[in-house]
A and B are shown apart, each in its own frame.
Chain A
Amino acid sequence: MSERPDQRRRLRVGIDVGGTNTDAVVLDETDSVVATAKRPTSPDVTEGLRAALDAVLAELDDPSLVTRVMLGTTHATNAILERRSLGRVAVLRLGLPATTSVPPLSDWPADLRDVVAAGAAIVRGGHFVDGRPIAPLDTDAVKRFLADVGSEADAVAVAGVFSPGSADQENQVAEIIRAELGDVAVSLSHEIGSLGLLERENATVLNAALYGVARDVTTALQDALDSRGLKVETFFAQNDGTLMAVDYAARYPVLTIGSGPANSLRGAAYLSGVEDAIVADVGGTSTDLGVLVGGFPRESAAAVEIGGVTTNFRMPDILSIALGGGTMVGAEPRSVGYRIGREALVFGGPTPTMTDAAVAAGRGTVGTHGVPDQWRVRLAEAVARADELVADAVDRVALGKADRPLIAVGGGALLLAGRIPGASEVIRPRHAEVANAVGAAIALASGRLETIVPTGNGNARAALIEKAKEEAAARAVAAGADPASVQIVELSEIPLSYLPEPAVRLQVKAAGPLSR
């Protein structure tokens, strides 16, 4: 058996934009890491991204072998937090005469609403939980609304009551928008979020507001690749640790929010070869702990707030503690941050940091200088305190199961002790310092779906669950997955109370490797 050399040497780049650093890695066909780079994240994000890309490409003999680039970025998050580059959105809810007690955008911070809202209306339409329409869709009211605000809107967001179970009216509105306004961008809530009208509507409006940001980052990445003569496919990382093709990301930019922790967890799983574990990602100012279940991040049940707006995205369940490589000993939780290279004692600086404490404790060798003796006692005490913090955090995320290993990743991973109470062992995989970028590079493409399924009639229920699986798989393929190898990776049924006939909330997720 011989492989064609060009096949074996086909390369791909993973990039993760974090709060402090932008990391980049190159992986070959066998998923082996062939190059890594770390650069500071720039205020505009894009410059740091270019710098990291340049640095990692410079490591390669022949950058033209790169065929794919996977990017996990904070562009969308920053745009929302800074109220910058956001599009104006016309918000249409289908639900009249219901839902008038809480109109669209009621819970938005006023400054964000002023920037984003081009107008909002509730029109007759929407569905009941059992699929009956609340009212027939009022197509005239939709047209009147579009005529009123269409000229001021960069995009339209549409949210119908119970649309995750009955999407027909939202799709009908999309057709009307196309007919009335031409090719203005449209976000439909049943494609974006799960049950919970206000949260799903919020996510849909944020998505619509981010189309311009998605275009900017796609263009910036494409320019960076073009100027280096690279002809590649590009993918974006999303909040559940999977990828979407660039044209899919252009339609669902809001899904890129929160990809960093997910990438880190997935990268840790890949680098260690362990699928069920606790992951501790130690950065400059904080340590993020999460849990891998079957190779995917355990997700948080709590509502997720983005820039003051409540959404119902499922994000990795992360516990952050204020402990990082730059944490100042005696002034915790303050950190020297990116200045560690000149502030820490081991770099000849004046400030004792947790990195110095770890070196003094014999946990690793870093820097250019030894640790002065007069600090040894205080540093030893700091290490003991840090170990307690970590042990408590591990216990908190471990759910009482002490038999799983802990995977130590991130630039500050040497802080972690060789044995940690609550973990069966501590694994330190190679390239752990860029686990997040690796996670972006090796990610699968996925699709997910949430709907309500009655459980009274066994046959009908089985057919509905089958249909939901097919739809989730189709979404995964649309996101870039290989149709031949898409699998259902998650299926959960949550019983609902007080309903006339027994029903469950069904959540399905399909994922698969990118098509060749």
Chain B
Amino acid sequence: MQARISTDDVPALARGCAVLGTGGGGDVRAGGLAARRAILEYGEVPLVRLDELPEDALILPLSGIGAPTVSHEMIHAEDEPVRIRDEVERIFGRPPAAVMSSEIGGGNGVAPVAWAARLGLPLLDADAMGRAFPEVQMVSMYVAGVPANIVIMSDVVGNVVTIRPVDGLWSEQIARAVCVASGSSALMADYVLTARECRGAVIEGTVSRAIAIGRATEGAQDPLAALQDELGAVRLITGKLTDLDRRTTGGFVRGTVTIEGTGDDRGRTLGLEIQNENLVAVEDGRVRAMVPDLITVVDTQAATAVQTEGLRYGQRVTVLAWPCDPLWRTPKGLETAGPRAFGYDLDYLPVEKIAP
């Protein structure tokens, strides 16, 4: 029997996507509400594996693009994906067969359920990051060398913009400029590709993984242990947030967070470098985890993810880190989203080697 995403799955998916957001990726709340409403209005969303689709089926990778604070205020228009689908059909001569999340981490992992429901299409059990990243070119298709042939954007008032960029870096720059003109909120299809092209170029199983992550803490005696177990994560520290230096430069929230250990971790201090997402964890001058591996701050009691913009002095938190998809550990993957891509002069070392 085919898997379907029902309204019951939405809260778990939202929790899981928040964990995979590694501090960024935007709020999951509005996406969750939109997903719930769309399922009630248009029906449950089939969740399909890549190998269930014909070779030439068109996959539509969708994501919201914009400023997180704007996304709390500017709720998406329901018909934004309809205009993108119509444009795809006009250009490719056939409609897309499935929607894919471009970014499973944060709100962009949840909202595709609403978009797929609105379009009456299945959702592909995959995404292009396996986490959240801040820039448009930081996607698996770019790393896998799929040509960045097309970007289609639709905004809240109904404008549709089609970009034919020369590469992923240009698609980031032009898409960002279009987004600003649209009020810092838009829906974007980045790459339209066939199921054949998706093989090896997307990260599979991430939607069902997000739901499993969300389910793991449901009713658990020890939610933190359950989450850590489900993720296969290393616990970097349990403590309280004692310093927070946050500033905006170049359109990103950057900052350093200091967490002082409590309980068994008393006497230890972990520093976390942030650029929207949590990127590098340092203890006593030694790096214990770094991007593209995943680093998430969670509430110690509830094991719910704390986003970068929600970090506050005094929070009782645990920092978890776990390995990214192998694709990100290839030379091209590290060049695209390794520590140096974010300006840290560090040679990447896998979390499982440096964290314990």
Partners in one complex: yes
Q: In this assembly, does B199 line the interface, its C-beta being within 8 Å of a C-beta of chain A?
A: no
Residue tally, chain A, CB below 8 Å to B: 40
Chain A residues with CB under 8 Å of B314's CB are 396-399
- Structural contact, A399 and B72, CB atoms closer than 8 A: no
Q: In this assembly, does A313 line the interface, its C-beta being within 8 Å of a C-beta of chain B?
A: no
- Structural contact, A101 and B157, CB atoms closer than 8 A: no
Known interface pairs A496-B69, A498-B66; A400-B78 also in contact (CB < 8 Å): no
Q: Which of B33, B77, B185 contacts A106 (CB 8 A)?
A: B33
How many residue-residue contacts, CB under 8 A, span A and B?
Answer: 128
Q: How far is the CA of A515 from the CA of B157 in the complex (A)?
A: 48
Q: In this assembly, does A195 line the interface, its C-beta being within 8 Å of a C-beta of chain B?
A: yes
The segment from B142-150, B211-219, B242-250, B337-345 found at the interface with A is B242-250
Q: In this assembly, does A350 line the interface, its C-beta being within 8 Å of a C-beta of chain B?
A: no
| Chain B residue at minimum C-beta to C-beta distance from A127 | B183
CB distance from B334 to the nearest CB of A (A): 24
- Structural contact, B67 and A129, CB atoms closer than 8 A: yes
Q: In this assembly, does A5 line the interface, its C-beta being within 8 Å of a C-beta of chain B?
A: no
Chain B residues with CB under 8 Å of A95's CB are 75
| Chain B residue at minimum C-beta to C-beta distance from A164 | B73
A102, A128, A196 interface centre (most CB from chain B within 10 Å) = A102
Chain B residues with CB under 8 Å of A294's CB are none
Interface residues of A in 99-143 (CB under 8 A from B): 99-103, 106-107, 128-130, 132, 134-135
Q: In this assembly, does B30 line the interface, its C-beta being within 8 Å of a C-beta of chain A?
A: yes
- Structural contact, B74 and A102, CB atoms closer than 8 A: no
Q: Which of B68, B77, B184 contacts A99 (CB 8 A)?
A: B77
Q: How far is the CA of A269 from the CA of B126 in the complex (A)?
A: 55
- Structural contact, A99 and B33, CB atoms closer than 8 A: no
- Structural contact, A162 and B73, CB atoms closer than 8 A: yes
- Structural contact, B73 and A161, CB atoms closer than 8 A: yes
Q: In this assembly, does B158 line the interface, its C-beta being within 8 Å of a C-beta of chain A?
A: yes
Known interface pairs A400-B260, A497-B68, A497-B276; A129-B184 also in contact (CB < 8 Å): yes
Chain A residues with CB under 8 Å of B262's CB are 395
Chain B residues with CB under 8 Å of A498's CB are 66-68, 70, 184, 251-252
Q: In this assembly, does A301 line the interface, its C-beta being within 8 Å of a C-beta of chain B?
A: yes
- Structural contact, A97 and B158, CB atoms closer than 8 A: yes
Q: What is the 8 Å Cβ interface bit string for chain A, positions 183-197, against chain B (1 contact, 0 not)?
A: 000000000000111
Q: In this assembly, does B310 line the interface, its C-beta being within 8 Å of a C-beta of chain A?
A: yes
CB distance from A364 to the nearest CB of B (A): 31
- Structural contact, B313 and A500, CB atoms closer than 8 A: no
Known interface pairs A106-B33, A129-B67, A498-B184; A197-B313 also in contact (CB < 8 Å): no
Q: In this assembly, does B97 line the interface, its C-beta being within 8 Å of a C-beta of chain A?
A: no
- Structural contact, B67 and A497, CB atoms closer than 8 A: yes
Q: In this assembly, does B94 line the interface, its C-beta being within 8 Å of a C-beta of chain A?
A: no
Q: In this assembly, does B291 line the interface, its C-beta being within 8 Å of a C-beta of chain A?
A: no
Q: How far is the CA of A274 from the CA of B242 in the complex (A)?
A: 23
Interface residues of A in 145-204 (CB under 8 A from B): 161-162, 195-198
Interface residues of A in 463-516 (CB under 8 A from B): 495-500, 502, 504-505
Q: In this assembly, does B121 line the interface, its C-beta being within 8 Å of a C-beta of chain A?
A: no
Q: In this assembly, does A420 line the interface, its C-beta being within 8 Å of a C-beta of chain B?
A: no
Q: In this assembly, does B119 line the interface, its C-beta being within 8 Å of a C-beta of chain A?
A: no
Residue tally, chain B, CB below 8 Å to A: 44
Q: Which of A97, A132, A398, A495 contacts B247 (CB 8 A)?
A: A495
Q: Which of B156, B180, B246 contacts A98 (CB 8 A)?
A: B156
CB distance from A388 to the nearest CB of B (A): 13
Q: Which of B73, B156, B184, B276 contacts A97 (CB 8 A)?
A: B156
Q: In this assembly, does B209 line the interface, its C-beta being within 8 Å of a C-beta of chain A?
A: no
- Structural contact, B183 and A499, CB atoms closer than 8 A: no
Known interface pairs A102-B34, A400-B240, A495-B248; A129-B74 also in contact (CB < 8 Å): yes
- Structural contact, A496 and B248, CB atoms closer than 8 A: yes
Q: How far is the CA of A53 from the CA of B291 in the complex (A)?
A: 62
Q: In this assembly, does B234 line the interface, its C-beta being within 8 Å of a C-beta of chain A?
A: no
CB distance from B148 to the nearest CB of A (A): 21
Q: Which of A101, A129, A301, A398 contacts B34 (CB 8 A)?
A: A101
Q: Which of A100, A102, A400, A505 contacts B69 (CB 8 A)?
A: A505
CB distance from B2 to the nearest CB of A (A): 25
- Structural contact, B73 and A101, CB atoms closer than 8 A: no
- Structural contact, A499 and B73, CB atoms closer than 8 A: no
Chain B residues with CB under 8 Å of A135's CB are 157
| Chain A residue at minimum C-beta to C-beta distance from B314 | A399
- Structural contact, B184 and A495, CB atoms closer than 8 A: no
Chain A residues with CB under 8 Å of B72's CB are 195-197
Chain A residues with CB under 8 Å of B240's CB are 396, 399-400
Known interface pairs A132-B183, A500-B184, A502-B248; A98-B68 also in contact (CB < 8 Å): no
Known interface pairs A106-B33, A497-B69; A130-B183 also in contact (CB < 8 Å): yes
Interface positions of B (Cβ within 8 A of A):
29-30, 33-34, 36-38, 66-70, 72-79, 114, 156-158, 180, 183-185, 240, 242, 246-248, 251-253, 260, 262, 276, 310, 312-314, 316
Interface positions of A (Cβ within 8 A of B):
95, 97-103, 106-107, 128-130, 132, 134-135, 161-162, 195-198, 301-302, 310, 395-400, 495-500, 502, 504-505
Sorted nearest first, the 10 A-B pairs with minimum C-beta distance are A495-B248, A98-B156, A128-B183, A498-B67, A399-B314, A99-B75, A500-B180, A101-B34, A100-B78, A497-B253
Extra contacts besides A162-B73, A301-B312, A497-B251 (13): CB < 8 Å: A98-B75, A99-B75, A99-B76, A100-B76, A101-B75, A101-B76, A129-B67, A161-B75, A400-B240, A498-B70, A498-B184, A499-B67, A500-B180
